[in-house]
Amino acid sequence: MSADSLGNSTRSALIVIDVQESFRQMPFWSETDLPAFKAALLALDDACRARAVPVVHVFHIGQAGPFTEESGAVRALDWLPGSPDVTFFKHTHNAFSDTGLDLWLRRHGVERLMITGIRTEQCCETTTRVGSDIGYQVDFVSDATLTFPMTHARSGRVYSSEEIKAHTELVLAGRFARIASVADCLASLGARDA
């Protein structure tokens, strides 16, 4: 898709990070928060496609287990719509290092990123920080991210998904991103398309 064919919507792109089968194979996988995450991400994906806003998929390839290419699990979860505008594969926690994502976005005139995916505090947060540092405006779409409870190594305290999301929002807000809901992003897309 050329920059011209994207029209006014080239200024934004939906970045969908690590929504991949690999996570279903991990011992911490839980479907507790999956329905809300799925609904939020699908609503945003559908709206972006309807407005010709580029949809970018990024998948993580690791060195062991279900994140290796050989595992066959480095592929979209079965409910994620196919045919994104472009797909990148990463080997780090951010979607920019050695992937070609930055070059693709700049060639397509993208200035604002909507960050979504798995895991909130890991690859989504790291991509947000790097994206902001290299000059993008970033909407961190917290309700379209997914994470799982974590146990603190020293204290043994279990942090819920909600607590992890709240902390991520706290450290990103105003410094690296606008914390945005799906509704916020839809309203912004509508305003930019007008």
pLDDT-derived band at 190 (thresholds 50, 70, 90) equals confident
The number of angstroms, rounded, from the C-alpha of 52 to the middle of its chain's C-alpha atoms is: 18
Q: Are strands 150-151 and 158-159 parallel, antiparallel or unpaired?
A: antiparallel
pLDDT-derived band at 189 (thresholds 50, 70, 90) equals confident
Q: Are strands 178-180 and 112-118 parallel, antiparallel or unpaired?
A: unpaired
**What does DSSP assign to residue 22?**
G
pLDDT score of 193 more than 50: no
pLDDT score of 10 more than 50: no
CA–CA separation, 51 and 66 (whole Å): 34
Q: What angle do CA 155, 173, 138 make, to 5 degrees?
A: 120
| CA-to-CA separations, 154 to 120, 151, 157, 158, in angstroms, rounded | 22, 9, 8, 11
Neighbours of 29 (CB within 10 A): 13
pLDDT score of 65 more than 60: yes
pLDDT score of 3 more than 50: no
User: What's the mean pLDDT when you consider all of the chain?
Assistant: 93
| CA-to-CA separations, 173 to 2, 118, 184, in angstroms, rounded | 33, 19, 15
* Segment among 8-12, 70-74, 179-183 with least mean pLDDT: 8-12
User: Model-level pTM greater than 0.75?
Assistant: yes
* 81-132 pLDDT per residue, tens: 999 999 999 999 999 999 999 999 999 999 999 999 999 999 999 999 999 9
Mean pLDDT value across residues 32-58: 97
